[in-house]
Chain A
Amino acid sequence: MSATARAAGSPAEGPPGRRTLPPLENDPVPLPGTRRGSVPGPTPSSRRVGRTGSTPGAPAHAPSSTARAAGPAPARSGRAHTAPVRVGTPRTRPAARPAASTGPVPRTAAGSPASRLRATVGAHRAPVVLLVVTLLVATALGLLFLNTAIAVNSLKATQLRAANEDRAQEVQRLEQQVVSGGTPAELAREARAAGMVPAGAAAYLVVGEDGTVTLRGEPVPAEEPEPAELPAIPPPPVAGGGD
């Protein structure tokens, strides 16, 4: 239906203008082969643009739009069956989009077919460029943001690590104090300073099987040794560091 619909629609717009196009399509002979594929793209689209711009009140708009949606497909299938055709299809798409393309519209009315082609191509590139630029800016901003976030976090991590190290050192210092305070020599010195004396022989209270308690040994208070008798206590450990 689409091919016929377009065929029916286009003559209605302006048969003479359309008539000039065929030579244009044959004209790109000097263009490279890939170009040739793109040519059919702009062609139908220019036709469309001309329609939207020139006929503001066209009631044929709605029906023709359905025809347009399907339009490129037949154009493709009808025109070229080689791969390059595909290159043309994406070009047509942005053109179908915004009404922004109203600017270049008058250009279609005048000038040679070649210049009109270039103008329309440029006009349809603008949104692409905008899109790409937007993407680039967004990427750059995103990267900037990510980098900043990473830097901030790494800074935080460094600070936390430093704080952790400080605590570990503090713990090490305290542990060192505990260890050196708990050595037998240190305990003996502290005990002596507190007025304690080494215990003598112990006496034992033994609970028998029948519950009777017997005393083994003789409990006697430990005697205070003469200060001169005290053996030299080894010097305090040379525990370097905190204390």
Chain B
Amino acid sequence: MARPPRPPAPRRRSAPPLRDGSSGAFTSRRAPGSRRLAGALQVSRRRYSIGFVLVVVPLLVITGKLWLLQGVDSGQYALAATQDRIRVQDVAPLRGSVVDRDGDPLAYTVEASRVTADPTLVDDPARTALALTTLLDVPTSELTDRLSRDGRYVVLASQVPPETVDEIEELGLPGVFSEDDPVRLYPAGSVAGQVVGFTGREGHGLAGIEQSLDEQLAGTRGERRVEVGSGGHPIPSGIDESTPAVDGSTVELTLDSDLQFVTEQRLQEACQDGATTRASAVVLDVHTGQVAAMGSCPGYDPGNYARTDPELLGNPLVSSVFEPGSVLKAVTLAAAIEEGRATPETVLSVDGHIDAGDRVVRDAHDHQPIDWTVTGILAKSSNVGTIMLAREVGDAKLEEYLRAFGLGRTTGIELPGESAGILQDSTEWTESRSANVPIGQGVSVTTLQMASVYQAIANDGVRIEPRIVSSIGGRPAPAPGSTRVLSESTADDVAYMLEAVVGPGGTAPLAQVDGFRVAGKTGTAQRANPECGCYAGGGYVTTFVGFAPADDPQYVVAVDLERPTSNEEGGQVAAPVFADILRQALTADGIVPSGTPRPDFVLTGPE
């Protein structure tokens, strides 16, 4: 109906007259005022609504979808998108080192990598395997097999040195990655191996210091988030954020590597004598209670623990107990002197045997009654004399002293699996047990506990709990507890008597160290036969514990040898080992002998 007015178009073209003089891009070709013409845009209502629906409905759908994507599920999609292109790598912290007192590492960690692959990204397993076989030192067939497996993660090699990883990365093989897999090295090998311990596959400590201080050594994991391309390789200058890993703390031990080496070497020698199945020794600093060396034979190399008999992977010095035998007599005598029941000069008439409940206790060599001084009783290691003195003291008092010296409970040293030993309550002692305990039978101790007893005697009666860690991460370890067990004069008396043991007429002249005055005590205790739980056929545990110089003690050394097939006494077997270790400890530390002569000991009563 309103068609007729359409012709404006031709009319527009007939406008040229307007353009005279004005030319250029910005000039309108439309006649002025022709922009709006009444009725020119008349559209039917139906077409209008169809158009409206065609435009608005899809728009609404799109808006709705957009709202769903951006508003409702946005987090999920953003996460999915991020995960698709961000790869999160764990950054392994370097485990802290374990160093000796001079800072020489006993255990430390170097960087290395684990080479892994994502089989779905590997184009040609055979070719990839061929390229990697020489670098990783893994057979081609095995690599091909792993690279063709289902799944998205296979480990191709562990603990690969960094330079090899660089070479692999230069090959640019798709689907082959590397991740941190630090290697724990034990440069000293088996030296201090039992103390340091080892770490398992997962990097957690499984023995020794590695286990007990695992938390401090481990450090905190870091994380690296990288934007990766389709091949899974990082995009240069893409997202690359990382939280650095915090390396573990360095643990400094009180051990002296050199002394430790000599100790272990000497024990090794002892183990080769054919009768000794196990030899242990510990060296304590008298004034601080610090462990200067601690080792046993057979030991193990922590770097090689997987190929070691699992039986040997402990630290027998703190975890296995034995009956100390005569070395414990020093405690009985100390109790007698401290309680005022005797002095080193007190003379007793000692018989060759003594009744103790259902059995008779004899001296090592039966004899007629002899007048011995208390010093003589210790020097000759008389069981009968010691039991006589113990009866003077009384069971309850004796137990009190034994516990004060640290028996029957752990020393608290920073090593795992420490045994407390066995010390029954005196109320439960039978008559024979009352006679056995003073001479070191019916009581179980660890080598470390034994050394700690003598440390108290050497340190003027003050017992300091033994410790092996001097600092963690630069912070000194807390000071160990110290308790006074004996008065100073009693400690001096006991030290004097112990020197008589090593002197002429004593049981252990072999324990002497040239130039130094040595004090100590032998022990030969029956060893319980593990097969029957009885003493028959168990052989002996021979021990020697002592310190030097006797006039100004510096080091305590405790040695014990397990000899199931021999009945030789501690003075013959353990004393030489003791002397060699002690000599090294004193010479290496520059201890100068005082030059004072050994006192003349009165062992027997006046005729």
Contacts and interface: CB of A to CB of B under 8 A. Distances in A.
Interface of A: 30, 106-107, 109-112, 114-115, 118-119, 121-123, 125, 150-151, 154-155, 158, 165-166, 169, 172, 176, 179-180, 182-185, 188, 199-204, 206, 214, 216-218, 231-242
A125 B188 CA distance: 85
B191 A234 contact: yes
A173 B513 CA distance: 43
Contacts, number: 143
Contacts of B224: none
A111 B514 contact: no
Contacts of B592: 204, 206, 216
Given A179-B108, A216-B592, A242-B161, 8 more contacts: A119-B27, A176-B185, A184-B191, A184-B262, A231-B266, A232-B268, A234-B190, A237-B185
A16 to B, nearest CB: 19
Interface string B290-332: 0000000000010110000000000000000000000000000
Interface stretch (B17-25, B83-91, B209-217, B243-251): B17-25
Contact of B514 (A114, A182, A217, A232): A217
A107 B22 CA distance: 6
B47 interface: no
Interface string B490-512: 00000000000000000000000
B162 A185 contact: no
B514 A123 contact: no
A179 B27 contact: no
Given A111-B22, A122-B26, A184-B258, A237 B236 contact: no
B188 A237 contact: yes
B257 interface: yes
Size class of the contact patch on chain B: 35 or more
Contacts of B36: 30
Interface string B160-200: 01110010000000000000000101111111000000000
Contact of A217 (B185, B258, B515): B515
Contact of A119 (B26, B189, B301, B513): B26
A125 B163 CA distance: 65
A201 B268 contact: no
B268 A231 contact: yes
A169 B261 contact: no
B24 A122 contact: yes
Given A107-B22, A185-B188, A203-B515, A217 B303 contact: no
Contacts of A107: 21-22
10 contacts: A107-B22, A110-B22, A111-B21, A115-B18, A169-B162, A184-B191, A235-B189, A238-B301, A239-B303, A241-B183
B269 interface: yes
A179 B32 contact: no
B593 A169 contact: no
A225 to B, nearest CB: 11
B352 to A, nearest CB: 38
B74 interface: no
A235 B193 CA distance: 13
B514 A201 contact: yes
B587 interface: yes
A122 B24 CA distance: 10
Contact of B257 (A184, A231, A233): A184
Contacts of B303: 237-239
B261 A184 contact: yes
B76 interface: no
B225 interface: no
Contacts of A216: 515, 592-593, 595
Contact of A183 (B32, B112, B188): B188
